Amino acid sequence: MKIELNAPMIIAVVLLVVVLAGEAIVFTSGHEDYSTEASLSGGSISYDISARGSHVYDVVVMDDSAGIPKDVAIYYDESYASNVKNVAVAVGGRALDQKYYVEQMVDTLQLRDVTNVSIVNAEGLRSIMNANGEGHAVICLSGSLPKTVYDGTADSPVLDWISTGGRLYWAGGVIGAYYSDGDKLVTVGPAGTSLFLGSACVDETKEKVHESIDNGFRDALSMQSNDTLYSPILSLLPDGSHYLGIGYTDGKRASVTLVGHGDGFVCIAGGDYSNFQRIDLAQVLAAGIGPDTILVDTCHGSVSGHASGSVKAGDQVYICIGGYFPVYGELHEVK
């Protein structure tokens, strides 16, 4: 059989090869190929970077950082209903479903030196959230939590877990609006959102936005997703709320929002599934950002083998190599 190749087909094949090659480079580069150090010296922080090849890098200094969690659990249970929407993918690309998203999230976190990561089902999540949440993180990408930890009431274990210091990272729908009772999806509605955020402050306005929030985090972390769907309207959060919006904005919402809840917090990445969303969510978690975090200083440079320098002092320093195409990241505590 003779196959005729036309220009669009050739371009599509070339693009697919480039994408696959890029993923292979990113996920096969080991920690031994990259290292970073940071130390407090007087009123400044000295940093040192070693890297295979030539890359750009960013040094991000913060105060009131949440730091790296002790461990990260990603919730995934095929036996429980989810509330995520199908999204379009490039021709020849794998479907961006929940299973693939979870698999990629593990690798994306490990690339940023977050290695104590596990995947848990509904019962595993129950065990986690029946304990104290301090220093622990859970990522939920299903758009709904299982009934083992959330049933739409204020007595739900997930709420106590966050209040005791847990960090819930959320993507895929309106937080609190649904829970999963086995293969059945149960609607709670805006009252459920209030349980997590303090008010019914989330609508479903779908909009791609292009304005950066003027607090420096978008550039410092090379944030890429510009979707604010499912993000809270910041002005509708209760008075006295501790919150931080970073990334892009439509003037009301942020592409990534962190809202304090007791001693813990909720982090919401806006939009339906996308690779940009996954990268931003991992970047925010790995950088240890919380709702009270303040950006102190940043330094953007390039490294070819080795680079060093100094920045203003802060309590945490996140060093990321690769910019919009990250190959390594690491958070340092320099208190």
User: What integer pLDDT is reported at residue 87 of this predicted model?
Assistant: 60
Neighbours of 248 (CB within 10 A): 25
User: What integer pLDDT is reported at residue 94 of this predicted model?
Assistant: 64
Q: Output the six-digit token pair for 299.
A: 């330094």
- Residue 138: C-alpha distances to residues 15, 108, 117, 133, 175 (Å): 34, 15, 10, 10, 14
User: What integer pLDDT is reported at residue 96 of this predicted model?
Assistant: 74
Report, as ranges of residue numbers, the positions in the chain whose pLDDT lies below 70: 1-31, 86-95
User: What integer pLDDT is reported at residue 10 of this predicted model?
Assistant: 40
User: What integer pLDDT is reported at residue 67 of this predicted model?
Assistant: 94
Pair type for strands 184-187 and 178-181: antiparallel
User: What integer pLDDT is reported at residue 88 of this predicted model?
Assistant: 53
Give residue-wise pLDDT tens across range 140-173. 999 999 999 999 999 999 999 999 999 999 998 9
Contact 292, 64 (CB under 8 A): yes
Give one DSSP letter per residue of 119-166, joined into a string: EE-HHHHHHHHTS--TTEEEEE-SSSEETTT--SSTT-HHHHHHHTT-
Q: Which domains does the chain have, with CATH numbers?
A: 33-65+294-335 (2.60.40.1930), 69-292 (3.40.50)
Beta strands in the chain (DSSP E): 34-41, 44-63, 71-75, 117-120, 136-140, 145-146, 167-170, 178-181, 184-187, 211-212, 243-249, 254-261, 264-269, 294-312, 316-321, 328-333
Q: Output the six-digit token pair for 117.
A: 């990561």
| Single-letter residue type at 317 | V
